[in-house]
Amino acid sequence: MMRWLGPLLVLAGSAAGAHALTLHFAPAVIMARAMDALEERGVALHRFTTPARVTPQAQSIVRSSPDLYYALCRYDLSDPAGALELRMGAWPDYQSLAFFDAQTDNFATLRGTGQQVSVRLLPPGSATEDGAIVSPTTKGVILIRRLAPDAARFAAAAEAGKADECRLR
């Protein structure tokens, strides 16, 4: 019996290690795959891209809402001197500017119903500044949502989206 003790302990340790590593890396792997998929679908780096209105025939992210206008901007702040200049144009109904890091965490959200919102996004480790948010990871996604539950409102939201900006400086 004792001669199996060593392999059994190794089996238990391997199982625990593989379990923990899988859970630890799963969100980042899924997020990286999603970022690749967004890139393949034309979502630009450092620029807001508005996919077509969400329909069963045009959906790139799981559980997208057909009642919302989405604009996406991928970012890469690998250069510690870089920063993103962001602006969400005015929209009379609900809208928000949400920031997601490479671990899928929603690390900041700014609501802007009826008003324009401007903010800077700084690389990880930057000192905090007024009017700026520090990203926990170098890469991530910024997402604007606007309430637009029909085709006419979606078209109006797209028009408002012309004032959106996601620019590396």
Residues within the interface to another protein (CB under 8 A): 3-4, 6-8, 10-24, 26-27, 30-31, 34, 54-57, 59, 61-67, 94, 96, 98, 100, 103-107, 109, 111, 141, 143, 147, 149
Cβ–Cβ contacts within 10 Å for residue 53, how many? 19
Q: Looking at beta carbons only, is 66 or 80 nearer to another protein?
A: 66
Q: Looking at beta carbons only, is 78 or 109 nearer to another protein?
A: 109
Least CB distance from residue 41 to another protein, whole Å? Answer: 14
Least CB distance from residue 152 to another protein, whole Å? Answer: 12
Q: Looking at beta carbons only, is 11 or 44 nearer to another protein?
A: 11
Q: Are strands 132-134 and 117-122 parallel, antiparallel or unpaired?
A: parallel
Q: Looking at beta carbons only, is 17 or 80 nearer to another protein?
A: 17
